[in-house]
């Protein structure tokens, strides 16, 4: 299949080209409102006989056509249709001048023998998955040259060479770039927002990192009051059972330019959302000034905080940071993780988070309550100190009593001899 062949289609206000990947220009009122350029491979496993499956891999074909792509004020959809009833789409949402990819949907028709030969099923199946994308400020393109594999039920979707601006203003693509974490070198902290035009967009500081976080931070000691404790819970559906619980107070500390700043996350009035999966769960918290996305991973034995995305609005602009290679708050599946003591974790070289009275359980929640907690080291040490003091006092008392009895015995022996 040639990637150098170009295909230009005009339909429903869309221009679709095939050149070095899939390039899509979605228009509204004859103005560009969504731009995308990406490479996509799909891998699907399906049954070809009793207890026998086959896996096929294919690129998004050159004859793919624009589907129901659209632009709205707070949401946009990029959709590509191909073959006999197949489609791939990604939905974006916008809030407080920051957008993100919410869900990717792939629909495939197993009755299409050209794509799925010898399939035992003629069903049309749909899988959805949430991508791990950063929060991207308006008037900024999201770029990710590295490959990202998005796993769903019997389906793998591999994306690379991605350049997307989901909410285009003024009818032209922005030159400002927000890079994904995988594209950022771990040996330095590059400015991943590049401004090469004379636009008046607010300055954005965006840092991402895949390096494992340190346990301490070089930033100054926070001076704000202790944050309010927020309590959050997710259900499997509107009337379903609770599948994720999280209680904590949170503060972020970060460097924006040369200015050090601290912000407490205010849970009052906070909107929260997310999802619960078998191997991954996500909690998204949105306050007036801060948006935080916490992604938890499950390896069937233990869970951990795997990724953290933070977006903060400040007087200096918008600060964005992410790390998708964390191993924090680890505990056995079926239990919760708890740390009442204040903790701090360096997420990137420019971002540190502080937690207070933390307890989380992203998997295996039963009866809407936390399971037995695995305590952090700081809490364990807080119990060891009084125990150690008590043991020391007990040893001291025993020594005094022993000295007393030895002294008394000697005095008695001396009295007998003098008599």
Let me know if residue 380 belongs to a domain.
Answer: no
209 in the same domain as 345: yes
Question: Domain total for the chain?
Answer: 3
Q: What is the mean pLDDT of the chain?
A: 81
Q: Which of 201, 221, 237 is the last residue of a domain?
A: 201
258 in the same domain as 143: no
207 in the same domain as 244: yes
- Give CA–CA dist 51/407, Å, rounded: 85
Q: What is the mean pLDDT of residues 228-256?
A: 92
Cβ neighbours of residue 51 closer than 8 Å, sequence gap 6 or more = none
369 in the same domain as 392: no
Q: DSSP secondary-structure letter at 213?
A: P
127 in the same domain as 64: yes
Backbone angles phi, psi at 383, to 5 degrees: -80, -30
Q: Which of 201, 223, 242 is the last residue of a domain?
A: 201
Lowest-confidence pick of 188-197, 248-257, 383-392: 188-197
Confidence of residue 190 (pLDDT cuts 50, 70, 90): very low
Q: What is the pLDDT of residue 285?
A: 94
- Give CA–CA dist 34/78, Å, rounded: 8
- Domain containing 366 — which CATH number? 2.40.160.110
**Domain of residue 394, residue span:** 386-419
Residue 344 class from Cβ within 10 Å (0-12 exposed, 13-18 middle, 19+ buried)? middle
Q: Tens digits of per-residue pLDDT, 38-94?
A: 889 899 999 998 788 899 988 887 777 777 899 998 999 999 998 889 999 999 999
Percent of the chain with pLDDT strictly greater than 90 = 41
Let me know if residue 381 belongs to a domain.
Answer: no
Lowest-confidence pick of 31-45, 140-154, 371-385: 371-385
63 in the same domain as 197: yes
298 in the same domain as 224: yes
Q: What is the pLDDT of residue 324?
A: 87
Q: What is the mean pLDDT of residues 290-295?
A: 94
Q: What's the Cα-to-Cα distance from 250 to each of 95, 121, 155, 356, rounded to whole Å?
A: 21, 49, 36, 6
| Percent composition of the chain: helix, strand, coil (DSSP 3-state, to 5) | 10, 50, 35
77 in the same domain as 193: yes
358 in the same domain as 278: yes
Confidence of residue 372 (pLDDT cuts 50, 70, 90): very high
Residue length of the chain: 419
70 in the same domain as 2: yes
119 in the same domain as 26: yes
293 in the same domain as 265: yes
């Amino acid at each position: 299949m040639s990637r150098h062949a170009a295909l230009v289609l005009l339909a429903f206000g869309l221009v679709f080209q095939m050149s070095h990947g899939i390039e899509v220009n979605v228009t509204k009122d004859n103005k560009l409102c969504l731009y995308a350029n990406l490479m996509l491979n799909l891998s699907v496993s399906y049954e070809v006989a009793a207890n026998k499956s086959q896996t096929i891999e294919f690129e998004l074909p050159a004859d793919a056509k624009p589907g129901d792509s659209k632009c709205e004020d707070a949401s946009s959809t990029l959709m590509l249709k191909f073959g006999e009833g197949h489609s791939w789409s990604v939905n974006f949402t916008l809030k407080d001048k920051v957008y993100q990819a919410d869900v990717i949907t792939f629909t495939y028709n197993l009755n299409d023998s050209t794509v799925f030969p010898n399939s035992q099923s003629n069903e049309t199946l749909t899988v959805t998955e949430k991508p791990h994308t950063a929060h991207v400020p308006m008037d900024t393109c999201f770029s990710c040259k590295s490959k990202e594999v998005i796993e769903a039920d019997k389906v793998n979707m591999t994306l690379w060479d991605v350049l997307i601006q989901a909410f285009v203003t003024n009818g032209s693509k922005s030159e400002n770039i927000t890079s994904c974490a995988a594209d950022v070198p771990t040996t330095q902290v590059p400015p991943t927002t590049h401004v090469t035009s004379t636009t008046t967009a607010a300055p954005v500081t965006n840092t991402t990192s895949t390096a494992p976080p340190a346990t301490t931070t070089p930033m100054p000691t926070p001076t704000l009051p202790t944050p309010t404790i927020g309590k959050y819970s997710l259900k499997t559906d509107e009337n379903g059972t609770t599948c994720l619980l999280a209680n904590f107070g949170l503060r972020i500390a970060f460097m924006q330019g040369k200015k050090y700043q601290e912000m407490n996350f205010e849970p009052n009035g906070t909107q929260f959302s997310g999802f619960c999966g078998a191997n991954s769960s996500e909690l998204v918290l949105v306050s007036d000034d801060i948006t935080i996305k916490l992604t938890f991973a499950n390896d069937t034995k233990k869970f951990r905080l795997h990724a953290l995305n933070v977006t903060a609005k400040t007087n200096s602009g918008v600060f964005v940071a992410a790390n998708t290679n964390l191993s924090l708050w680890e505990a056995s599946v079926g239990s919760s993780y708890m740390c009442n003591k204040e903790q701090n974790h360096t997420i990137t070289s420019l971002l540190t988070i502080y937690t207070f009275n933390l307890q989380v359980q992203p998997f295996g929640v039963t009866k809407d309550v936390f399971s037995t907690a695995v305590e952090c080291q700081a809490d364990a040490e807080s119990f060891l100190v009084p125990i150690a003091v008590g043991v020391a006092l007990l040893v001291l008392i025993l020594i005094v009593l022993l000295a007393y009895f030895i002294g008394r015995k000697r005095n008695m022996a001396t009295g007998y001899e003098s008599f």
